[in-house]
Amino acid sequence: VYRSVELCSLLLLVRVPFVMMGNITQSLLSAAEDNSLLLVTERFLTLSMVFITTWLMCFYIIFISYLQLLSEMTSTTDTRFYLSWWNASTMEQFWRWWNRPVHTWCVRHVYLPVVRCGWGKLSAMMATFLFSAALHEYLVSVPLRVCGHFAFIAFFGQGLLCKLSAWWTQKCGPVAGNILVWSILMFGNAAGVVIYYQLVLQSL
């Protein structure tokens, strides 16, 4: 009962930051038209903060509230839906830790079959990110009814980003690596919000 009430309450509460993101993005685009660099920067930083807050709320709703409720209803014993992804020092760690059900599925049905076909681990990783890129682009573009490409490029480029973040962590340490991971999550996704918001406006 507690989980059900919590889930319903959070689903209502999370609507607020979603509305805020729309208003902030609209004011950011207006500032860009006026060539107000300072206001654009302030709006983008505000959007990044609101987005990461909304993203964390959605993470809690899905992985802690909904999936835990589902596991209790189905008496599932494996409830490790995520690891401590917030401590990830590289993007590769983040992708392995933050969504274990999807990661396990991709490894089993995409990564390992490619490796068994004789391809190298790097090729298998790129194939996995290619599949993930196509899936995320579909999940974003179809509901918005736009023909975008940012999600596809962003996810397909994660293979390179994993290598770069690993190099950065090796050179500067795990704390700097964790800061880089959080920066990518905040600013990269905020940029995606602005791009798709513009595409939606253009399609109206």
Angle, helix 158-172 to helix 174-183, in steps of 10 degrees: 150
Burial annotation 67-91 (CB, 10 A radius, 16+ → b, else e): bbeeeeeeeeeeeebbbebeebbbb
d(CA 1, CA 196): 38
The pair of three-digit structure tokens given for residue 130, joined into one six-digit string: 């290619």
Q: Which of 196, 177, 32 is nearest to 94 (CA)?
A: 177
* CA atoms of 36 and 27, how far apart (whole Å): 11
| 103 catalytic per annotation | no
**50 close to 24: Cβ distance less than 8 angstroms:** yes
Q: Which of 103, 109, 136, 149 is catalytic?
A: 136
**Would you tell me how many other CB atoms lie within 10 Å of the CB of residue 15?**
10
Rounded Cα distance between 70 and 23, Å, is 34
Catalytic positions, please?
A: 136
